[in-house]
Structures are given as structure tokens and as C-alpha cells.
Amino acid sequence: MKLNVYFLFLALSLCLSHNLFAGNKFWTGNTNTDWNTANNWNPVGVPTASDNVLIRDGTGNPVIATGTTATVTSILIYQKTLTISSGATLNVRGDGTLYRYVDLNINSTLINHGTLAMESAGGGPVAGVFGPGDDHSLVENYGLIRINSSNNNTAVEMGGVFQELTLLL
């Protein structure tokens, strides 16, 4: 009987866990630099809104091409460069429990010519950190960075180039 109660408790805990369904996608760049190429990711498949993205190893640097809208839970860039092309959008939504949404570490670069939008999964306030954390990481912004503006009630919009900048939200 105790064993059945334990398994029932375990099953309920797993069902109620938000992070159970979130996956991790790791950049490999096995095929090319296109974000939307399934074989560029491990496990194979283009990241979705339920994925935490890690761009750390792999060949080349990912590019979100013109006309592409990518939506992820969170993103960590480590010693790599991510480019958001003009006419492309990267939505970083979080899952309501993550502290960091967009994190650049150790000589990482985010080049934005399109739109980088950060808001919570439910469209509410963002709670986390955005920007270059340390060690000479850089955000080159030639497009739009929108933080918590899911319904056009803009909280923060920024342009320009940022180095050694961290926003605590």
C-alpha cells in the first residue's frame, strides 16, 4: 500500500511539473548555419516554445533568417554568435519558473537586425536577466529589442550596441 501511495504521489508531481515538458536543444551546426534546419540541433529538430536552447559547441554560428519567427523558452549563448536577420524574430517566452531568459557568456555575441522579444509565457512581466553577463560578451542591436510587450503596452524598447550590460528585471 505504501508503494502505491508513493507512485501516486510521484505521478502527480510529474504531471504538475512545468519543466518536465521543456526540453533542451543544443546547437550542432551539422548541416549549415540555418536555425530552421532540424539536423543542426541535438536532439534533431528545430527548437520550439517549450525548449531551452544552448548555443555553445558545434560548427558555425546560427542565423535566424529573414522571414523566420523562432520561439523558445530560454537561450544561453556561450563563446558563439547568434544572428537575428532583418525581418526575423526571436521570441523568448520563459516558462514562469526560469530566472534567466537570454544569457550571453564568455565572448558571446548576439547580433540583432530583426526583433528580439522577451515576455513571460503568459504574456505577463518578465522576471530574469537579459544581456551580456560578463567576460566581453556583446549585444549588437540594429533592430528592435522588446521586453514584456505582448499586447503593445511596451515596458522597454532599446536600440544600440551593449557591452557588459545586464538588465535585472
Per-residue three-class SS string for the chain: CHHHHHHHHHHHHHHHCCCCCCEEEEECCCCCCECCCHHHEECCCCCCCCEEEEECCCCCCCEECCCCEEEECEEEEECCEEEECCCCEEEECCCCCCCEEEEEECCCEEEECCEEEECCCCCCCCCCEEEECCCCCEEEEEEEEEECCCCCCCCEEEEEEEECCCEEC
Q: Is residue 5 part of a domain?
A: no
Dist. CA 128–CA 102, nearest whole Å:
8
Residue 35 domain-assigned?
A: yes
The answer as to whether 55 is a domain residue is yes
The per-residue pLDDT for 52 is 92
Q: Which residues contact 51 (CB under 8 A, 6 or more apart)?
A: 22, 23, 24, 25, 72, 73
Q: What's the pLDDT score for residue 160? A: 58
**Virtual torsion, Cα 68, 136, 107, 119, nearest 10 deg:** -30
Cα separation of 114 and 65, whole Å?
9
Q: What is the pLDDT of residue 5?
A: 33
Each residue's pLDDT, cut to its tens digit, for the chain (169 residues) gives 443 433 333 332 333 333 434 589 999 999 999 999 999 999 999 999 989 999 998 899 999 999 999 999 889 999 999 999 999 999 988 766 544 578 888 888 999 999 998 876 665 556 555 656 656 788 888 998 877 644 555 556 665 555 555 454 4
Q: Report if residue 2 sits inside a domain.
A: no
What pTM did the predictor assign? 0.76
Q: Which residues pair with 92 in a beta bridge?
A: 72, 118
Would 88 be classed as within a structural domain? yes
Task: Judge whether 53 lies within some domain.
Answer: yes
- Quote the domain boundaries for residue 80: 21-168
Q: Please give the grid coordinates belonging to residue 78.
A: 556561450
Does some domain include residue 9? no
Q: Is residue 65 part of a domain?
A: yes
| Domain count for the chain | 1
The whole-number pLDDT of residue 1 equals: 46
Whether the bond between 43 and the residue before it is cis, its omega within 30 degrees of 0, is: yes
The pLDDT of residue 42 is: 97
